Amino acid sequence: MLVGQEPRELTPYQSPLAFFGAELRRGRTAARLSQTDLGHKVNYSGALIGKIEKAERWPQADLAGRCDEALGLGGHLVALLDAVNRQRQAASTTHAAAHHGVLDHLPALRRALDARDCPADGPVRPAPELRREVQQLVRWRLETDYLAVARRLTVLLPELHRARQQRTSEHAGVANLLTQAYRASDAIADKFGQHDLSARIIDLMCSAAAESGDELTIAAAAYVRGETFFANGDWLTGCRILDRAAAHLRPAISVHAAAAYGALHMRAAVLAARGGDPDTAARHIDEAAAAACHVPEAVYRGTAFGPASVRIHRLSLSVDSHDLAAALRAATGGHRRRPCPPSAGPTTSSTWPAPTCTRAIRTEHWSSLTRPGAAHPSTYGTIPRSKTASPPCWPVARDRRSRCCAWPSGSAHRHRSAGRAQQLRQLQQRVDDPVSGLDDHGILRPQVTPRPAPDQRCT
């Protein structure tokens, strides 16, 4: 969790999953361990421990057993898995029913979009109430509760369209809310294969974002617009559009601006790689890593960004380009560079506002902002207002050799990535083997286990 942030109050009797998470937290706090400390002991991430405690992820038997042993719970968590698995099976059945329910709401959603400039008469609630409605909508989208999103949108979109027509002093704020509502609509269209509807909604979202006048809202809309180019295969054009959108941002002014800037470059890297331009992809992922040096892993304006997100994308890009050496470096933290030193002037905690999204990914500490000699997170130096001067605390990636990653070094990081590193080493050894490596088509040959001699077989 973020420094100084109170842990979320749990509701243990809401479900078996919630009870499991509450019992895990109870055992962890009794052992006086943080989520990160427990993660190190069981070889899982502290973020995953936190998500399970908050009933946001399903626990696996291996994790439950390791936590039982590390916390001395005597198999208590493993015993709870039966009830959790029954809940998971019921949730899977409910998900299938929800899928059909969402499809039933699509005609009403289309009608609400068709009548955006001439919505039906009705009341318009005050801006604070609309803002709460949209915040709930965003939470449901992040939790992939698409049935709840579809039900609410059919009522909320006409009301937001009416508020937009009133042209009051809250018009920019309404346009911002409408942008988020359109993004929730696009999530439904995209996830359920309605790609023509998705492209249409993205155009409406970009128009609403432009009306808001908020550069972060415009950046979020541009990020979502990238989906269009994934669908139509014009990847390099999408990369250029995201690059242009990032150029209009000032990433040094706040965490949110840096996150928006980094997220655009992160998605641009994927588009460039899809388009067969690895050099451009490397430049964009390096620029995203530079921004991640100053951003804690979280969800900003509905988009996840931070050191973990960049690292996952870097690893994925390396695997997709069949660069196993780069994948190995990404998995083991080999793309690490010296941490960005703080600037001379101290700043207050208000310089780094906390993420506003309720489903933000909370880390145990602002590891991506940790600097040698820093006594407290609120004393970090500010990022300079402009990248053009290229001061030491804003490392701009110049080429593929210039990389910045905010992942901490040390034994804890090596312990977390040891298993994945070993797997990648074994894979690389197989690829390099002239006999059992790649065939003439570049496909890895299957491993053949020699059968033991008759006199060596077990009886």
Q: Is 72 exposed, middle or buried (0-12, 13-18, 19+ CB in 10 A)?
A: exposed
Q: What is the pLDDT of residue 220?
A: 94
In this predicted structure, the answer to whether residue 2 has a pLDDT above a threshold of 70 is no
Q: 267-298 burial, b for 16+ CB within 10 Å, e for fewer?
A: bbbbbbbbbebbebbbbbbbbbbbbbbbbbbb
The SS3 assignment for 338 reads: coil
What pLDDT does 98 receive?
67
Q: Are 180 and 205 in contact (CB under 8 A)?
A: no
pLDDT in tens, 157-197: 999 999 999 877 788 999 999 999 999 999 999 888 888 89
388: pLDDT strictly greater than 50:
no
pLDDT, one tens digit per residue, over 289-299 is 999 988 888 88
Query: What pLDDT does residue 394 have?
Result: 36
Q: Is 163 within 8 Å of 124 (Cβ atoms)?
A: yes
- Sign of the four-CA dihedral 107, 111, 116, 122: negative
Using the predicted structure, report yes or no on whether residue 375 has a pLDDT greater than 80: no
Query: What's the pLDDT band for 425 if we cut at 50, 70, 90?
Result: low
Q: According to the 3-state scheme, what is the secondary structure of 45-60?
A: CHHHHHHHHCCCCCCC
Burial zone of 126 (CB within 10 Å; 0-12 exposed, 13-18 middle, 19+ buried): exposed
pLDDT higher at 362 or 154:
154
Higher pLDDT, 105 or 319: 105
pLDDT bin (cut points 50, 70, 90) of residue 153 is very high
Higher pLDDT, 152 or 397: 152
Q: Mind listing the pLDDT tens digit for each residue in 320-363? A: 777 777 777 776 665 544 344 333 332 323 333 333 333 333 33
Yes or no: say if 3 and 365 are a contact pair by the CB < 8 Å rule. Answer: yes
pLDDT confidence tier of residue 93, bands split at 50, 70 and 90? low
Question: Residues with Cβ < 8 Å from 409, sequence gap 6 or more?
Answer: 333, 336
Whether the predicted pLDDT of 95 surpasses 70:
no
User: Using CB atoms within 10 A of its CB, is residue 265 exposed (0-12), middle (13-18) or buried (19+)?
Assistant: buried
Q: Given this model, what pLDDT does residue 456 score? A: 46
Q: What is the pLDDT of residue 104?
A: 87
Residues whose CB is less than 8 angstroms from the CB of residue 58 and which lie 6 or more positions away in sequence, other chains included: 17, 52, 84, 88
pLDDT at 414 over 70: no
3-class secondary structure, 19: helix
Percentage of residues of the chain with pLDDT beyond 90: 42
Domains and CATH numbers, the chain: 1-104 (1.10.260.40), 115-213 (no CATH), 234-437 (no CATH)
CA atoms of 160 and 167, how far apart (whole Å): 12
HSE of 29 in the Cβ direction (CA atoms, 13 Å)? 9
pLDDT of residue 373: 30
> What's the pLDDT band for 264 if we cut at 50, 70, 90?
very high
What span, in angstroms and rounded, lies between the C-alpha atoms of 322 and 306?
25
How many Å apart are CA 134 and CA 121, to the nearest integer?
20
Tell me how far apart the alpha carbons of residues 204 and 372 are, in angstroms, rounded to a whole number.
46
Rounded distance between C-alpha atoms, residue 269 and residue 189, angstroms:
24
Q: Please say if the pLDDT value at position 78 is more than 80.
A: yes
Each residue's pLDDT tens digit, 15-59:
899 999 999 999 999 999 999 999 999 988 888 999 999 988 899
What is the reported pLDDT for 376?
30
Mean pLDDT in residue range 120-134: 91
DSSP 72: T
- 304: part of which helix (H) or strand (E)? strand 303-305
pTM metric for this prediction:
0.58
Mean pLDDT, residues 140-153 taken together: 89
The backbone torsions φ and ψ at residue 438, rounded to the nearest 5 degrees and listed phi first, read -80, 145
Per-residue pLDDT, 195: 86
DSSP class of 384: P
> What local confidence, expressed as pLDDT, does residue 378 receive?
28
As a 3-state breakdown, the chain gives helix, strand, coil percent values, each rounded to 5, of: 60, 0, 35
DSSP string, 438-449: B-TTSPBPPP-P
Mean pLDDT of 310-325: 81
CA distance 393 to 94: 50
Q: What is the band of 4 on the pLDDT scale with cuts at 50, 70, 90?
A: very low
Please give the residue that has the higher pLDDT: either 227 or 318: 227
Residue ranges of alpha helices (H) inside 115-170 are: 127-142, 146-166
